[in-house]
Amino acid sequence: MSRAAVLKNPSPPDPACEPQAPREIFAFAGQTRLDREQMLAAPLHWPRPSKLEDELALPGGKVGEAIASLGIKTVGDLLEHLPRDSREARTIAMLRIGEQATVAVAVVSITARAVRRRGMRPLVEATVRDHSGSMRATFFNQPWLVGRYPPGTRLLLHGKADQGGRFSVSHHAIAAEIDGAPEAVAHYSATEGVTSTQILTLVHGVREALCDVCELLPAGLRVAQRLPDRASALAALHFPRDNDDTRAGRERLAFEELLLSQLAFLRRRARHQARSGALTLAQAPSRSARWLSEELPFELTDDQRTAIAAIDTDISQPRSMQRLLMGEVGSGKTVVALYAMLRAVENGHQAALMAPTETLAEQHFATLQKLITGEPIATALLTGSTPVRRRRDILAKLHSGELQLVVGTHALIEPTVEFRSLALAVVDEQHRFGVRQRAALDDKGSPWGEGESGDRRRRSPHILHMTATPIPRTLALASYGDLDVSTLCELPTGRQPIETCIVSSAEERKKAYAQLREQLSQGRQAYVVCPLIEQAAGQPPGDDPGELRAASAEFKRLAEGELEGYELVLLHGQMPLRERQQAMAQFAQGDAHVLVSTTVIEVGIDVANATVMLVESAERFGISQLHQLRGRIGRGEHASVCMLMGSSESGRLGALKRYSDGFRLAEIDLKLRKEGDLSGTRQSGVGQFKVACLPDDEDLLERARAQAQQIMAADETLSDPEHTLLGELLQERFGEFTLEPIPA
Ligand code: ADP
Ligand code: MG
């Protein structure tokens, strides 16, 4: 049926009816009766999505190349290449002299005029008008425009109005069907070789193809969410008429994008749970309860209790826990993790804790031994530096089940590592591990029904992911949509507030060292942190000796200069394990006053007597990293001070000076990154969407989340006809595993 004509009051089929008796057919939503001719002439259209795959006729030369370099090859690609924003379009009457502006006009007359100066091409002059008036527009150097823009052509002109009512055109495009005067014109990010207006010209050229755009969203959903259809949304962005239109269009596309990512998360979670069950850890707490009440030297915070209760519920289910435990450094995550591990052990199984660096794994191992004071639990540390013989012994004992707890690095997920019955794994600083590494961990679970030959399916261990980078809920949802989240907000009591100051001049630096020495002379300890480009976890040392020397050089410099007479130790990731352990032990025992290090101390080190932190080139670090570093001090009874070397103008350093709350800082970080350096985008999760913009689209995200949950509850496989398009696109865009949680 055509769009233009519908049946109104269709009479029930009456066999007695004369075959030629015409049924009454009216124009859509109207009273006009349509006759046969009118109906035949009604525009008839079926979308043909395949047409979107037609290759785009690109202009030759630089422009064509530039468009191709944007990845635009087909008509569909071009329609999906969305404008960055829109520029206000002016009417001719509104133009002000000297101002850049875009106008939508019709050509009244057009001529080429010779220019007197030699070597210049003829000037093209056109009289153009809109509803508000007319003016003369001048095009330089393009005599062929006389043929291309005959009178009557509708044009978008971008340029500048100058004295004498002339408009010098810098960019121009044919505006296919502009009705009336648009308030705005789409503005595309210009790339080298192609301007926004040139892209706009191309888009105008494929405008017809909008009819071939498919609707992905079920009609019911669209109505419920009050979203325009896909084609209209694209049209509203490319050919804006007013702001409301554009906003609605953008919202529609952003919603779709967020919905897809939420569906991908939920589907991944559902698939994971369908594929692999987990061991139920449902026995009443015994050792774990004793540990909490008798061995642990402090009371749990309320947040810790809540997290523990959630974990208890999770692990008593036959499907694997996928929980993210967020909490700043020092918020007491390790205690929660240890509890979960003890639960696995008292149920007769094994547990593992995996950390991204050896230093961290060593720290955890030490903490674990310190905190478990009752009857011993067989525990081992397994890292890349574990000597071969020791390693062989550990592997044998993990296989036999003799070892109950193991702490380690990536070494834990190597194929040679086999557990007898791994029920629970903790992944610290989880964002440093990739999806494949986490999948490898899943694979360490115990096989289904022991002894069943041929069945290679395994139960997944329950997984507790941990991150010391607290992120706002919006971002957590956008980045970790398939995980349940527990948050430790309140810090264990006894924390001292940390004063943070920015040190930006030589004068201030002098004072900073004086303050540092003052603290040392009172028996306190200090950290000096130097920047080092972080190597990817598990990678061999990078080839950046210059940077590394910075830490070692600073160590020497201070030892002979400002901190002469004090005991200094050096710590960085490229030192042999033995030396590193020695350095840390020396500092922890109070045998060294100052620890000069790279960011390896970011997590894990816990020295209550350390009250000063001095960070060199602080602007080289991100807000959350600095916040984590700062978390190394303020852990004891004494007041602490953090000195950031850098510009007092820096927004990031300023935020750190002002706020101590990690969640607050995370939000600021998000805002600053959105506005400023996009290099941090991947890290913050902001850049993962094309249209949606977080945190601004928080509301939309919540709606998309709820909608995705509803869809999954009704049709988990997305096989209902109304969901098939969504399912296909999801598969195409995310596959099964490609949706990596974005590092926090
Ligand atoms: P995180 O892993 O989150 O950085 P930790 O678990 O290492 O934090 O805890 C930091 C320090 O606080 C440790 O020394 C730990 O023993 C201590 N701690 C943890 N929970 C509490 C608590 N409820 N009360 C007092 N101290 C605590
Ligand atoms: Mg920790």
Range scoring the smallest mean pLDDT among 80-89, 177-186, 304-313: 177-186
Closest by CA to 120, choosing from 139, 147, 146, is 139
- Ligand lying closest to the C-alpha of residue 329: 1
188 vs 350, more confident: 350
Give yes or no for a contact between 244 and 184, defined as CB atoms under 8 angstroms apart.
no
Burial 482-507 (b: 16+ CB within 10 A, else e): bbbbbbbeebbeebeebebbbbbeee
- Which residues are CB-neighbours of 83 under 8 A, at least 6 positions away? 186, 187, 188, 196, 237, 238
Q: What spacing in Å lies between the alpha carbon of 600 and ligand 1's midpoint?
A: 19
Residue 423 has a pLDDT of 95
Mutate to test the pocket of ligand 1, among 298, 304, 326, 335 (most ligand atoms within 8 A of CB): 335
Residue 640: CB atoms within 10 Å? 23
Report which listed range, 6-20, 366-380, 509-523, 601-615, is most confident: 509-523
Within 6 A (CB) of ligand 1 lie 298-301, 304, 327, 329-335, 468, 492, 606
CA-atom Rg of the chain in angstroms = 33
Residue 547 has a pLDDT of 41
Q: What spacing in Å lies between the alpha carbon of 428 and ligand 1's midpoint?
A: 15
Looking at residue 698, its amino acid is E
- Ligand lying closest to the C-alpha of residue 491: 1
Q: What spacing in Å lies between the alpha carbon of 421 and ligand 1's midpoint?
A: 29
- Separation between Cα atoms, residue 25 and residue 31, nearest integer Å: 9
pLDDT value at 426 more than 90: yes
The H or E element that residue 407 is part of is strand 405-408
Average pLDDT value over all residues in the chain: 83
The H or E element that residue 612 is part of is strand 610-615
pLDDT in tens, 392-403: 999 999 999 999
- Separation between Cα atoms, residue 575 and residue 626, nearest integer Å: 23
Residue 448 has a pLDDT of 65
Whose alpha carbon is nearest atom 25 of ligand 1? Answer: 492
Angle between helices 196-205 and 61-69 (to 10 degrees): 80
Give yes or no for a contact between 300 and 335, defined as CB atoms under 8 angstroms apart.
yes
β strands within 261-339, DSSP E: 322-327
pLDDT value at 332 more than 80: yes
Neighbour order of strands in the sheet with 322-327: 379-382, 405-408, 350-354, 422-427, 462-467, 322-327, 484-488
- Ligand lying closest to the C-alpha of residue 327: 1
User: What does the DSSP assignment read for 103-153?
Assistant: EEEEEEEEEEE--SSTTPPPEEEEEEEETTEEEEEEE-S-TTHHHHS-TT-
Bridge partners for 126 per DSSP: 110, 137
Whose alpha carbon is nearest atom 18 of ligand 1? Answer: 332
- Separation between Cα atoms, residue 151 and residue 144, nearest integer Å: 14
- Separation between Cα atoms, residue 643 and residue 501, nearest integer Å: 5
Nearest atom in ligand 1 to the alpha carbon of residue 370 is 16
Residue 118 has a pLDDT of 66
551 vs 466, more confident: 466
Nearest atom in ligand 1 to the alpha carbon of residue 331 is 3
Phi, psi at 615, each rounded to 5°: -110, 120
pLDDT in tens, 655-683: 999 988 777 887 788 777 654 333 333 33
Nearest atom in ligand 1 to the alpha carbon of residue 631 is 4
Bond preceding residue 49 cis, omega within 30 of 0: no
Phi, psi at 604, each rounded to 5°: 100, -40
Q: What spacing in Å lies between the alpha carbon of 679 and ligand 2's midpoint?
A: 27
Mutate to test the pocket of ligand 1, among 296, 324, 334, 359 (most ligand atoms within 8 A of CB): 334
In the numeric block, which tokens belong to residue 338?
Answer: 């240890």
- Which residues are CB-neighbours of 623 under 8 A, at least 6 positions away? 652, 655, 656, 665, 666, 668, 669, 672
pTM of the model as a whole: 0.67
Residue 182 has a pLDDT of 64
pLDDT in tens, 236-259: 999 887 778 889 999 999 999 999
Q: What spacing in Å lies between the alpha carbon of 333 and ligand 1's midpoint?
A: 7
Nearest atom in ligand 1 to the alpha carbon of residue 603 is 4
Residue 674 has a pLDDT of 58
> With pLDDT > 90 as the criterion, what percentage of the chain qualifies?
40
